Amino acid sequence: MFAGVRTVAVYVTQIEKAKEFYSGLLGFGVSADLGPNLCFLRSKSGQVHIYLEGGHKPSSVDDDTARLSFFLEPEKGVSETFESLKAAGVELLQEAPEEVGDDTHWFQFKDPDGNILEVAGRP
């Protein structure tokens, strides 16, 4: 029925804060700024697109809450990416990246609104 995922929508409280996080810290480029609460971002590879929509109320997230998350493929190793995010003060959900098999390491972190993002790849 579907050939893939084209764009991931992320609903946030403050668009400018989210835009700075996703573009300034995570390295997504702004591909379209569509007014005070809408923005499209693109990964450096052009393979991943994020639609940011501001003006939403935050919701609580815990380990028992159903949610949508997405995995990011790091440009560098997972451990180096983890340390960079830690140094930037990003809220990390693990003490260190965890090996999940097949020489793949993984960790989770939160954006400024508490949305959970995941990183998986080689150490």
Neighbours of 22 (CB within 10 A): 22
**Three-point CA angle 64, 51, 106, nearest 5°:** 45
CATH 3.10.180.10 intervals, the chain: 1-57, 67-123
Homologous superfamily in CATH for domain 1-57 = 2,3-Dihydroxybiphenyl 1,2-Dioxygenase, domain 1 (3.10.180.10)
Query: Which residues, 6+ apart, have CB-to-CB distance to 61 below 8 Å?
Result: 67, 110, 114, 115, 116
Q: 64-86, pLDDT tens digit by residue?
A: 776 777 888 898 999 999 999 99
Nearest to 13 by CA among 56, 77, 65: 56
- Does this model's pTM top 0.85? yes
For residue 111, pLDDT beyond 80: yes
CATH fold, domain 67-123, is: 2,3-Dihydroxybiphenyl 1,2-Dioxygenase; domain 1 (3.10.180)
Q: 31-57, pLDDT tens digit by residue?
A: 999 999 999 999 999 988 999 999 998
Output Rg (C-alpha) for the chain, integer angstroms.
15
Burial class (CB in 10 A: 0-12, 13-18, 19+), 109: buried
